[in-house]
Structure 1
Amino acid sequence: MAIILLYPVAIFLSFLFLYHWRWNKTSFITNWPIIGMLPGFLLNASHVHEYLTSLLKFYGGTFEFQGGWLTGIKLLITSDHMNIHHICSKNFPNYGKGRKFREIFDVLGDGIFSSDHDSWKYQRKLLQTLLKDNKFKLFFEEVVKGKVEKGLIPVLDHVSSLGIEVDLQDVFQRFTFDSVCLMVLGYDPNCLSIELPKVAHSNAFDEVEESLLYRHLVPERWWKLQRRLQIGSEKKLLHAWKVFDEFVYECISTKREEQNLVKKEQLKFNLFTAIVMEEQEGEMSSNITQSNKFLRDTTINLLAAGRDTISSGLTWFFWLVATHPSVEAKILEEIKKHLVDNDKWRVSNIDELSKLVYLHGAICETLRLFPPVPFEHKCSAKSDILPSGHYIKPKTRIIYSLYSMGRMESIWGTDCLEFRPERWISEHGGIVHVPSFKFIAFNAGARTCLGKDITFVQMKIIASAILWNYRVQVVEGHPVSPSISVILHMKHGLKVRISKRFV
């Protein structure tokens, strides 16, 4: 306890050190006695992703973060694509999520994002089977197109008719939360309506994400003491966690009752029902889904994947397109050619979306610069040597920065900071393939995101529907910067004005 109480004193002293350090041009970060490099990160916490990028550039793509004996934090941080190829693919068995990840992201339980070894293999195989099923593909298309027509369009028509500002990020979060709840649970919370109602369990998601990043920026003992005392960000996290768990367990209970009362052939398709049926009747039967805890963890992982990543990507996409008129013009030209009949937008089938090559490039370029998940964790099982030459001890915690990778000249060239969809289009008009360990937005190797294809489909449907039917103008003077969260939201939302393109 005495050591924990020294933290505030140490941080205060570190700011005194930093007063002098900030004038020192010989290095970007100083490893102080006792407190290590922690002061530099705390001082730059408000723009941590940009700060981390500057450090990685300075140190050649990889450096060891020393938190000092007082903090107990020791990490290897990298944006070197060859290191990431080695970690995610070449020596994948040596690098799992590890115990520390599961402690930090305890809200995810034992779901696919935090599990390792046999548990991870089982869950991935189960979800892979379901996402490839034609029933899911048809259901997914029905949900997304239905939510566009009955939710998104009415809301945008309403705000455009009133001429009022709207937070487009909030609209997208409502859209994706409704959609993913329908796909996973067969339940529509109707967050996306003209009234834009407050929904406690949706807002709880944001509060959890902010608190989880805080756990990355302070010593482990610090946030664990806060959790024990139920103060600060940990109090906020526990409350949000409780709110969301109540929502999920209530949905599970409802679905259980429905399955007991309704004949199997009459059950409406959703991932929850499909998971239970597949696990009980398929080749993988092991009665795991009899546990509400397993279903709770699976549900929360799927909801997190389907809500925040897509809403974040869409928000940054519309900001980039709205501030690059030439890109918008090319996308509109492509939509008119492939998705428009008599000036009316339509998507009759998903295959049509593959013709939108330039839009695909613009989405890839968005995800390159603003990956929804800005960093990933790994932990070594055995000793190893990375391609960069760094020696890895057993149980070494590794963080690779997806955000920084999109800003590395060594990967993307001297124009890496430019938003240029053309870099994704070949001379013959096709999509340029970039290895996943370079274009890392969907992770790489064995843990590559299972939802990659449906993410592109959903983003293309929403993007084409909005761009063809409306003009989106960012409110003048609106500040745009990444939030301090484990998901790359916009800190202040995206305030825009919407007007109909065709009257």
Structure 2
Amino acid sequence: MTFMQYHAILFFLSCLMSLYFYFSFKSRRSSLPTNWPIVGMTPSMSWHFHCIHDYTANLLKQNGGTFMYKGPSFANADILFTSDPDNYNYISSTNFHNYPKGPEFREIFDILGDGIFNCDSELWELHRKTTISLFKDDEFLKLVEKTMWNNVEKKLIPVLEYMSEQGSRFDLENIFQRLTFDGIMNLLLDHDPKTLAVELPHHKLEGAIAKGEETLFDRHLLPKYCWKFLKLLNTGKEKHLSKSFKLSDEVFYKFIYEKQEKGTKANDVKKEQVEDQSLLTGFMREYKDQTGSSGNFEKFIKDTLFNLLIAGRDTTSSALTFFFYLLAKNPVAENKIREEIHVQSGIKEGEKWKPFGTKELEKLAYLHGALCEALRLFPPVPINHKAPLEADTLPSGHRVNPGTKICLHSYAMGRMETIWGQDCLEFKPERWLSKPGGLKHIPSYKFTAFHAGPRTCLGKKMSLIQMKFVASTIVYNYQVELMMGGLPITPQASVILQTKHGLMFMIPQIHQYLFPLEQPFAQMSSSSSAALFCTRCLPFNKFKSYQVLLSCTYTKRESGVAGVSSGGSRITDSWNDH
């Protein structure tokens, strides 16, 4: 090496070190990640990708609720993150028409096609009008209630009884995903895939959806050219998304073509539609009335149904998962819910458990507050994507140009002291209750689990009813025990909030008044509709091999007072805030 070469190398290294110390010093003076030349803030985001929701939530907290993430300078990947309620209200309501999903969103979520979550303007108006019409139909609402009851009585209860009898640890998140998948497929296609059974059978579409959702989240942060190149090669996570795409086409087109063929052969189409109240039949009828059958009608229907599948399966299962996670960490709240159910149900000693109807569920104010509190802390859709059509200035003072990617951060909003007070990280159902025992109204631009403005979730009421129905059944009849064994509970980087490792539970029984037993566990199959009768309490010695003290919560009710007769230890794994 010559003398000149040696000095050139030293000079180059000195420049690199100077740049490093300059940007490091600049970063220390700011709460934002270091904005490096060329690559921007990508290194910091990549380093914290395993806890991206908490990481960005902390950045928002430190920067007044809004900050600009600078992506690589060559990739047009800058993102404005905001958890400011005024910004949220302005974007989702006040100036709604200037903030559509935008073409980049449609590119990222290409798997959703022309469904309601992926379109704007006239097409979105058509979807919204049609969906509202079907959701308000009395016959459809009866079908929803019937489907919920059947799935709980003939599927969920037998599976939970089996797990309880066996003393097994099981993934409650997986159970809820199967429950909601079976339910939404029934409503959409009048088809029961039977994924929720004792054997926990595999279903190719149900298993592929979660993998695909992880890929969609990656697309938000990766430069467009990067994920498009991976898509072209059909490799990595893009391969999983492609598989989900093909499976959804295969499943939905099959039912669409069968429905068309059946409708063609039927002499009385109206009679056929009365007998079949599925959303597939309803959408086919409504869209033909409004648009005719010209164009790619089958694809349009498929996109519509797949969008509703994602909404019906994932958001409800996510909400229920984190609801029971929080209950397992807050036994006082769990007992208050159980007492409220006992008082409102009027069930007496020796009587069989009678699930609530929709009207009775509305009386469970504390349960409603607990569910809203879980949705506040763990919104199923942690971020929403927007892009302005015209240049604008947000209420926070931030200037946005046409096409600027904006992420409305619902996950962070539930953790902002400026919105919820210093106890914002605490699980307090009382936060939602007014003094006379009613419910407080929280503006949708502060409590954003169901979004806000014209794009507010159309299935909000239906989703809450389903969650209350499932939650009341489980809480009253079982004691939920979190059994993670020291494994950290962290969120998966996905467009739907899910856990990375699942949530392992055991559920000792409380009451003996579920449903009459007609066959033993050993004889049960996935097609069995027999419900089970539980014993008073599972003996403690069944669980000795697990070396865990379980709560025995059977309570005699002769005195009319509900309570926990004896308590045990609780696993206190905490959510990693990083």
Residue pair 2:116, 2:304 contacting (<8 A) in 1 also: yes
Q: Distance in 1 between the 2:425 and 2:447 partners?
A: 14
Gapped regions of structure 2 (runs ≥ 5): 1-15, 512-535, 537-578
Q: Distance in 1 between the 2:262 and 2:196 partners?
A: 25
Residue pair 2:83, 2:412 contacting (<8 A) in 1 also: yes
Matches within 5 A, 1:39-438: 39-262=43-266, 263=268, 264-266=270-272, 267-281=275-289, 284-287=290-293, 291-342=297-348, 343-347=351-355, 349-438=357-446
Q: In structure 2, do the counterparts of structure 1 residues 288 and 351 end up closer, same or farther at CA, with 3 Å as the change threshold?
A: farther
Q: Does structure 1 residue 488 correspond to structure 2 residue 497?
A: yes
Corresponding residue pairs, total: 487
**Equivalence for 2:10:** none
> How much has 1:349 moved relative to structure 2?
2.4
Residue pair 2:212, 2:237 contacting (<8 A) in 1 also: no
The TM-score with structure 2 as length reference comes to 0.82
> How much has 1:344 moved relative to structure 2?
3.3
Residue pair 1:279, 1:289 contacting (<8 A) in 2 also: no
Tell which deviates more after alignment, 343-352 or 174-183. Answer: 343-352
> How much has 1:256 moved relative to structure 2?
2.0
The structure number with the bigger radius of gyration is 2
Tell which deviates more after alignment, 346-355 or 262-271. Answer: 262-271
Q: Distance in 2 between the 1:68 and 1:373 partners?
A: 26
Kindly provide the CA deviation profile for residues 197-219 of structure 1, in whole angstroms up to 9, marking residues without a partner as x.
01111011011101111112221
Greater strand fraction, Structure 1 or Structure 2: 1
Query: For residue 73 of structure 2, what is the amino acid of its counterpart?
Result: W
Q: Distance in 2 between the 1:22 and 1:231 partners?
A: 39
Work out the percentage of aligned pairs sharing the same amino acid: 46
Query: For residue 187 of structure 1, what is the amino acid of its counterpart?
Result: H
Q: Distance in 2 between the 1:211 and 1:142 partners?
A: 35
Query: For residue 470 of structure 1, what is the amino acid of its counterpart?
Result: Y
Residue pair 1:102, 1:114 contacting (<8 A) in 2 also: yes
Q: Distance in 1 between the 2:413 and 2:291 partners?
A: 41
Q: In structure 2, do the counterparts of structure 1 residues 23 and 65 end up closer, same or farther at CA, with 3 Å as the change threshold?
A: closer
Q: In structure 2, do the counterparts of structure 1 residues 64 and 24 end up closer, same or farther at CA, with 3 Å as the change threshold?
A: closer
> How much has 1:91 moved relative to structure 2?
0.5
Q: Distance in 2 between the 1:418 and 1:288 partners?
A: 54
Runs of 4+ that moved beyond 3 A: 20-25, 284-290
Q: Distance in 1 between the 2:414 and 2:304 partners?
A: 30
Residue pair 1:42, 1:217 contacting (<8 A) in 2 also: no
Tell which deviates more after alignment, 383-392 or 446-455. Answer: 383-392
Counterpart of 1:469 (choices 477, 485, 491) is 477
SS at 1:400's partner residue?
strand
Residue pair 1:478, 1:495 contacting (<8 A) in 2 also: no
Tell which deviates more after alignment, 476-485 or 337-346. Answer: 337-346
Query: For residue 193 of structure 2, what is the amino acid of its counterpart?
Result: P
> How much has 1:288 moved relative to structure 2?
6.2
Residue pair 2:70, 2:79 contacting (<8 A) in 1 also: yes
Kindly provide the CA deviation profile for residues 333-365 of structure 1, in whole angstroms up to 9, marking residues without a partner as x.
000011252353323521000100000000000
Q: Distance in 1 between the 2:344 and 2:503 partners?
A: 29
Q: Distance in 1 between the 2:264 and 2:206 partners?
A: 28
> How much has 1:21 moved relative to structure 2?
4.7
Query: For residue 216 of structure 1, what is the amino acid of its counterpart?
Result: H
Q: Distance in 1 between the 2:227 and 2:392 partners?
A: 31
Residue pair 2:79, 2:407 contacting (<8 A) in 1 also: yes
SS at 1:440's partner residue?
coil
Q: Distance in 2 between the 1:235 and 1:419 partners?
A: 39
Gapped regions of structure 1 (runs ≥ 5): 1-12
Cα RMSD, aligned residues only: 1.9
Query: For residue 97 of structure 1, what is the amino acid of its counterpart?
Result: K
Q: Distance in 2 between the 1:183 and 1:221 partners?
A: 38
Kindly provide the CA deviation profile for residues 309-335 of structure 1, in whole angstroms up to 9, marking residues without a partner as x.
000000000010111000001000000
> How much has 1:394 moved relative to structure 2?
1.7
Residue pair 1:35, 1:71 contacting (<8 A) in 2 also: no
> How much has 1:393 moved relative to structure 2?
1.4
Q: Distance in 2 between the 1:73 and 1:57 partners?
A: 22
Residue pair 1:380, 1:395 contacting (<8 A) in 2 also: yes
Tell which deviates more after alignment, 238-247 or 86-95. Answer: 238-247
Residue pair 2:26, 2:34 contacting (<8 A) in 1 also: no
Matches within 5 A, 1:3-14: none
Q: In structure 2, do the counterparts of structure 1 residues 21 and 47 end up closer, same or farther at CA, with 3 Å as the change threshold?
A: farther
Kindly provide the CA deviation profile for residues 227-275 of structure 1, in whole angstroms up to 9, marking residues without a partner as x.
1112211122212321222112112222222323343314321111011
Q: In structure 2, do the counterparts of structure 1 residues 134 and 83 end up closer, same or farther at CA, with 3 Å as the change threshold?
A: same
